[in-house]
Structure 1
Amino acid sequence: MYQYFNGLVIREGTEGVPAEKVEALFEDAGWARDTPNWQKEKFTLIFKNSTWAFTVWDKEDMIAMVRVISDQVMAATIMDLIVRSDHRGKGIGQKLVALCLQKLPHGDWFAHTSANNFPFYEKCGLEVKNSAEKGTCAYFGYIQARLDGHRK
């Protein structure tokens, strides 16, 4: 499926997303750097193993993406939402969240994000709750990977 948004093309789908384009967005966001060659396939696999995904294209350049993991009935989590730094502030991120919410309009949605992104998600209609009150638990594998010497 294709949609047009302010002169950009939004593609829906989890197949055929070029790993090098995803890696470039991760690097721009500060989420990756110096990825070893043997790990680069993860940038394709994360899409193949996601439930839904949207990518935003300016001609041949992928300038934004979002991927979602869901049971497709009751709950969904936005895992990665990235808008390239030179395209931020143009409503692209909000459009991607809106497209996601349309996929499961009556389900419970969560965003895997850091606190500095809470105001953005509130603008998109998500509610930020005190996680201590709600009993949310988290395990971050990257912390263990650093302790084990696998990540910088």
Structure 2
Amino acid sequence: MYQYFNGLIIREGTEGVPADQVEELFKDAGWVRNTPDWQKEKFTLIFKNSTWAFTVWDEDEMIGMVRVISDQIMAANIMDLIVSSKYRGKGIGQKLVEICVQKLPHGDWFAHTSANNFSFYERCGFEVKDLSENGTCSYYGYVKARKSGHRRA
């Protein structure tokens, strides 16, 4: 599946995600420095072992990504949401979260992140339950469904 967003392409899929471009995004985010060659396959395997994944492309450059681990019924966890520093502030991250939540709109969504990302997740409709240095932001789809009249209990 492909979607277009502000001149970019968002691709859904856990197969064929290029490890070198994932590593570049991780470096840009400050999550890795120098990955030994024998460990580089992890950048492909993390996608193969995910439930859902979305990558954002500007022509041949992957400029954003998100992975989701889920039981596909009740709960899902947003993993590794990254947007290249050159593209931040353009709504790409929020679009990725929106697409994720659409996969399980009445389920419980969680994003374990650092405190500096809490306001981002709040703008995406998540609640911050733990105000310590790191915590889990949550989005309860069943509560939202009840409030909007789509579910009674």
- After superposing on structure 2, the runs of 4+ consecutive aligned residues of structure 1 that deviate more than 6 Å are none
Q: Deviations over 1:37-60 (max 9, x none)?
A: 000000000000000000000000
Distance 2:115 2:68 in 1: 19
Amino acid at match of 2:21: K
Is residue 83 from structure 1 mapped to residue 78 from structure 2 by the alignment? no
Amino acid at match of 1:77: N
Q: Deviations over 1:55-113 (max 9, x none)?
A: 00000000000000000000000011000000000000000000000000000000021
Distance 1:129 1:43 in 2: 30
TM-score, scaled to structure 1: 0.85
**2:98 aligned residue:** 98
Q: Counterpart of 2:56 in 1: which secondary structure?
A: strand
Is residue 120 from structure 1 mapped to residue 113 from structure 2 by the alignment? no
**1:60 aligned residue:** 60
TM-score, scaled to structure 2: 0.85
What is the CA-CA distance between 1:131 and the residue it aligns to?
6.8
Q: Counterpart of 2:67 in 1: which secondary structure?
A: strand
Gaps of 5+ in 2: 137-153
Distance 2:131 2:85 in 1: 29
Is residue 26 from structure 1 mapped to residue 49 from structure 2 by the alignment? no
Gaps of 5+ in 1: 137-152
1:109-148 matched pairs, under 5 angstroms: 109-130=109-130
What is the CA-CA distance between 1:115 and the residue it aligns to?
1.0
Distance 1:17 1:129 in 2: 33
Task: Judging by fraction of residues, say which structure has more strand.
Answer: 2
CA RMSD of aligned residues (A): 1.2
Distance 1:100 1:23 in 2: 22
